[in-house]
Amino acid sequence: MTAFVYESERYVPEKVQIFGVSVEAAEEGRKLRERVTRDCQEDRPYIQLDPYPLRLLIDPEAKLIRAVGAENEGHWAGLIAAPITYVMDRAGKARWAYVSASAADRPSPLGLARAAVAVARGEAPPADYPGKT
């Protein structure tokens, strides 16, 4: 989540919207947003956070998480979402994806932003960072 906020200067001018989905309760999501906001205000105070560059969504029964195949049933905390990232176009088609191999495996913040900006401009995602499916 932090990477999206820190790279928001790439997303906001292109009007890219960002949603994060987890099973977490709203209160935990608000705490996460507050921590990320405070970090950003301290580290990069020049970044505008109003309106906030992303929205966190709650999927308490993991219906959407299961529908996309992101469920992790074996976690010690119970069912959680495995990290998967999609860039969708205006028509609702997946144009780029990064299916993480583990919790530590995340897409390059810059590579992801470049893919999203390309899709927003009606272009193909950059071939030099095709994601991982």
Question: Which stretches of the chain bind other proteins, using CB under 8 A?
Answer: 1, 4, 11, 14-24, 26, 28-33, 54-59, 63-65, 67-70, 72, 75, 77, 80-97, 99, 103, 112, 116-117, 119-122, 133
Q: Please state the closest distance from residue 101 (CB atom) to other proteins, in A.
A: 11
27 half-sphere exposure, CB direction, 13 A CA radius: 0
- CB nearer other proteins, residue 33 or residue 40: 33
Q: How far apart are CA 7 and CA 107, in angstroms?
A: 13
- CB nearer other proteins, residue 40 or residue 117: 117
Contact 110, 7 (CB under 8 A): yes
- CB nearer other proteins, residue 40 or residue 97: 97
Q: Please state the closest distance from residue 115 (CB atom) to other proteins, in A.
A: 9
Q: Please state the closest distance from residue 45 (CB atom) to other proteins, in A.
A: 24
Contact 8, 15 (CB under 8 A): no
- What letter does residue 133 receive in the DSSP assignment? -
Q: How far apart are CA 38 and CA 30, in angstroms?
A: 12
